């Protein structure tokens, strides 16, 4: 399958692209700045340039992708309005474009404790934005998987995770392992329709994803 990686230039997105390059799937990197294309072209990875704040139908069509991995985010350095226009509405635009194109497989990088009703956390506006996008995806016709990691780190991946963590634990997980989980979901039918809480742990990724 050709797989559109949204947020491909990000810390997790680049890891996802690297894993997809190893096969059997073929990544298409969606970036928002033409200057970011060269990095992927050097690796012989196809690119499309598009911004999540604009309609995405053309970018999806140009990518000729059959599946989409959403790994974008506005980050902590922009204001709350970008959390809405990128993390919430950008993800929803991707869902709409997939539906309009008649495509089905959508894997969302969300966050532990994402909740449309989140209150009382310093990042509640972000958790609400992610939670609302996740709800759109659950209500859509798409074959979705929602990956909900704790805090992302730059530590080296272990290939082992915990998919039944205490949501209140405040734990973390290397971006390497989040990327590996996102990619592994593509080939694990049992992940379709699931929301998967995710922290660093001791269970091999394939085993953790195989059952509920």
- Give the nearer residue to ligand NAP in terms of CB position, either 141 or 149: 149
Which residues are marked as active site?
126
Q: How far is the CB of 50 from ligand NAP (least distance, A)?
A: 7
Show the DSSP H helices in the chain as ranges: 11-21, 37-42, 57-63, 80-82, 89-101, 124-139, 175-185, 205-210
Residues that bind ligand NAP (CB under 6 A): 7, 9-13, 32-33, 51-53, 71-75, 86-87, 90, 109, 111, 149, 151-152, 175
Compute CA distances 69 → 80, 143, 169, whole Å. Answer: 23, 12, 26
**Smallest distance, Å, CB 90 to ligand NAP?**
6
Place of tokens 């039944």: 164
User: Residue 85 carries which DSSP code?
Assistant: I
Q: How far is the CB of 190 from ligand NAP (least distance, A)?
A: 22
From edge to edge, which strands make up the β-sheet containing 2-6?
A: 46-49, 26-31, 2-6, 67-70, 105-109, 143-149, 194-200, 160-162, 203-204
> Which residue, 87 or 162, has its beta carbon nearer to ligand NAP?
87
The distance of closest approach from Cβ of residue 127 to ligand NAP in the complex, given in angstroms and rounded to an integer, is 10
Residue 175 CA to residue 20 CA, distance in Å, equals: 15
Residue nearest to ligand NAP (CB): 73
- CB 189 within 8 Å of CB 151: no
**Considering the complex, what minimum distance in angstroms separates the CB of residue 31 from ligand NAP?**
7
Q: What is the residue whose two structure tokens read 């474009």?
A: 97
Angle at 47 between CA 131 and CA 132, to 5 degrees: 10
């Amino acid at each position: 399958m050709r797989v559109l990686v949204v947020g491909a230039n990000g810390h997790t997105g680049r890891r996802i692209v690297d894993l997809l390059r190893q096969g059997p799937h073929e990544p298409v990197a969606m970036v928002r700045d033409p200057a970011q294309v060269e990095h992927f072209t050097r690796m012989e990875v196809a690119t499309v340039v598009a911004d999540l704040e604009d309609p995405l139908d053309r970018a999806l069509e140009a990518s000729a992708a059959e599946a989409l991995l959403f790994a974008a985010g506005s980050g902590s350095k922009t204001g709350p309005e970008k959390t809405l226009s990128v993390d919430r509405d950008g993800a929803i635009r991707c869902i709409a474009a997939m539906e309009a194109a008649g495509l089905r497989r959508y894997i969302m990088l969300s966050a532990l404790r994402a909740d449309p009703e989140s209150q009382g956390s310093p990042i509640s506006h972000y958790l609400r934005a992610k939670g609302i996008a996740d709800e759109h995806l659950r209500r859509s016709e798409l074959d979705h998987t929602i990956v909900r990691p704790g805090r992302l780190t730059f530590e080296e991946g272990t290939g082992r995770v915990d998919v039944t963590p205490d949501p209140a634990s405040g734990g973390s997980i290397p971006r390497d392992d989040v990327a590996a989980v996102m990619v592994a979901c593509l080939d694990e039918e049992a992940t379709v329709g699931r929301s998967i809480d995710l922290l660093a742990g001791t269970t091999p990724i394939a085993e953790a994803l195989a059952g509920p």
